[in-house]
Structure 1
């Protein structure tokens, strides 16, 4: 048996951290040749006598720490039959984690919420002057985060969003599938989960509750297009490596209809109306309730006003308003559909509160932040709260900043860029990157990187003129401009 004196590097008692530290012990860290190499008498170190150690693949109550006395750190854990069991070697360093005081849990929960809060952008109440400072909802979520920390798993956040692409493909969006807007949005949500790891190693998980099924029939979008958009979102998250931090849940997933069978398009379409009916029957709000909420709650009224704004443009291209023969009749339809959407939105919120009560609530709608975090999915150069990516196109400026726009607003000033053969974003027109060279790809990447590489299967060198334009582009672009894959890529390196 190895008896080692080891420094205590954390004061947090958590199965996932035990697992992480044990892996460090097995695979790296500094070696200690004997217990005498470290003074066991100092408060910063403890002596460990190792008998058997394992690390199951998931944190659970299977960890038996009853044999870890308060005044010692002898670890005796029964070996589990798991491929993740570790072969313990002598003279390897391991971090020992001691049980914290209750105030440590509060401090950790507070630190986690500070990270989450940094991603928010909120409105100031009308009766308050000056800029918004801090996140008003932090105290509201303290108990939820503290409970999740005690369980030792990733901090779970719930975001009702990503329904479908707007039906208005004439003035607003360029197709029915996710594009650069969704890519940037997923990247930002993933980065939030990664940033939580700085203060809490298990990190975070964003559970996207895609709500398109609740609204598509109201605005005239088909269930087929709603499925295609959601499936495209899943594939995008997987291709970017975000599928561990971002989980997409459709209504039938949350209701439990897919617990035994993976969801496919056929089962999705067969369950669509059943799920809509079930949500409205069990959790449905009445129109009177919603109107009362709009009178009493400024955040609810903000959401309603947001619905009115996008419906005024969307319904002009929807069969829902095809029979409107005058502006007055059209506005009446817009308001009627907006109320229907509010009823379903508030019903869905009630449903999520019942099904996901411990999650931190995120929102794509501007709010005061009292009971949710309003998170801009796209960080704009202006700093303003953006349009949602499914109601807009992305315009990339020469300096690398993003703006969420209606496509009709930038057609004259920007070039429509394609990815995998379909429209993906708009790029400001400039001779610095409008090269008329189909073998050179410019790819915008989160947060504001511009990547240049040759088209797949092409061996190519950049010309002197192109290299000079890359140099000039770096002078105005606020983010990195990276050149890879060209035969003379080194010449284009920063």
Structure 2
């Protein structure tokens, strides 16, 4: 989850993830209706890859991943499973895991800087990515005590780290899942190794449940919005004892609290 409280309503999975997981599980089910062998989807969590660069403590990443697994299990989403660095490096400290990934898979910093400066390379895609990540890091940095220009310099430096680790993570996934069709939660250029997939309706194609929250609209629709924007439009709903989403409506009455979700097995006879 983004560490920016203006974007998200907490650091654990909420209604955005719940709806996204149901969509993905349903997608696999629909594939199975047309393709007899069916489909399974592995959710590859990159939290530990980037956590130190985006200011999210590693224990928060573990808590998020564990809660996501529990959400999949509780909802009975049988087509879904998860994959993260714990599946590769076990109980190694997180810093050691990141170092292993960088050493084995990442491009050199000098090579990446040269590629970014070469605007003819990849139609300038690397430069656009670098600038976009720099903006993202600038928006999501909290508690920085220096000047605005100092923060911009720090974010430009960290952006190179994000791109290096992103490529390393992609190479690791390709090695561990060589026969998989790769999907991405972000838009992808034509000819990329991955297909971009949009999980929920949002005003920005780059917006995901990890950088926003759900607003359930009065007409029954669902949208992803920045938490600060959703809070102006609706009232907060709690589920399982933590913030879940907003419901569109006039005014801001007391938060609504939903009962805990009942596992499917508890309702079967």
TM-score normalised by L of structure 2: 0.85
Q: Give RMSD over aligned pairs.
A: 2.5
Counterpart of 1:374 in structure 2 is: 196
Counterpart of 2:265 in structure 1 is: none
Counterpart of 1:411 in structure 2 is: 231
Which of 353, 361, 365 aligns to 2:182? It is 361
- 1:345 positional shift: 0.6
Where does structure 1 differ by over 6 angstroms across 4 or more consecutive aligned residues? 434-439
Structure 1 residues 350 and 301, CA gap change in structure 2 (3 angstroms) = farther
- 1:232 positional shift: 0.6
- 1:377 positional shift: 1.6
Q: Determine if contact 2:47/2:61 at 8 Å carries over to the other structure.
A: yes
Q: Distance in 2 between matches of 1:301 and 1:187?
A: 35
- 1:309 positional shift: 3.2
Q: Distance in 1 between matches of 2:126 and 2:224?
A: 23
- 1:436 positional shift: 7.5
Q: Distance in 2 between matches of 1:410 and 1:438?
A: 15
- 1:301 positional shift: 4.6
Give 5+ residue unaligned stretches, structure 2.
261-269
Structure 1 residues 303 and 366, CA gap change in structure 2 (3 angstroms) = farther
Q: Distance in 1 between matches of 2:255 and 2:210?
A: 30
Residue pairs, 1:28-67, within 5 angstroms: none
Structure 1 residues 424 and 301, CA gap change in structure 2 (3 angstroms) = farther
Q: Distance in 2 between matches of 1:421 and 1:337?
A: 35
Matched positions, count? 255
Which of 18, 25, 28 aligns to 1:190? It is 25
Q: Distance in 2 between matches of 1:399 and 1:291?
A: 48
Residue pairs, 1:270-349, within 5 angstroms: 270-294=92-116, 295=119, 296-297=121-122, 300-315=126-141, 317-318=142-143, 322-324=144-146, 326-349=147-170
- The structure with the greater share of residues assigned to helix is 2
Q: Determine if contact 1:377/1:386 at 8 Å carries over to the other structure.
A: no
Q: Determine if contact 2:214/2:224 at 8 Å carries over to the other structure.
A: yes
Q: Which is higher, the Rg of structure 1 or of structure 2?
A: 1
Deviations 1:354-387 (Å, cap 9, x if unpaired)? 232211111112122422110112134x6x5251
**1:426 equivalent in alignment to 2:223:** no
Counterpart of 1:167 in structure 2 is: 3
Residue pairs, 1:71-86, within 5 angstroms: none
Alignment partner of 1:416: what SS? strand
Q: Distance in 2 between matches of 1:313 and 1:436?
A: 30
Give 5+ residue unaligned stretches, structure 1.
1-164, 259-266, 442-454, 457-494
Q: Distance in 1 between matches of 2:150 and 2:52?
A: 20
Counterpart of 1:208 in structure 2 is: 43
Alignment partner of 2:53: what SS? helix
Q: Distance in 2 between matches of 1:251 and 1:276?
A: 9
Structure 1 residues 292 and 367, CA gap change in structure 2 (3 angstroms) = farther
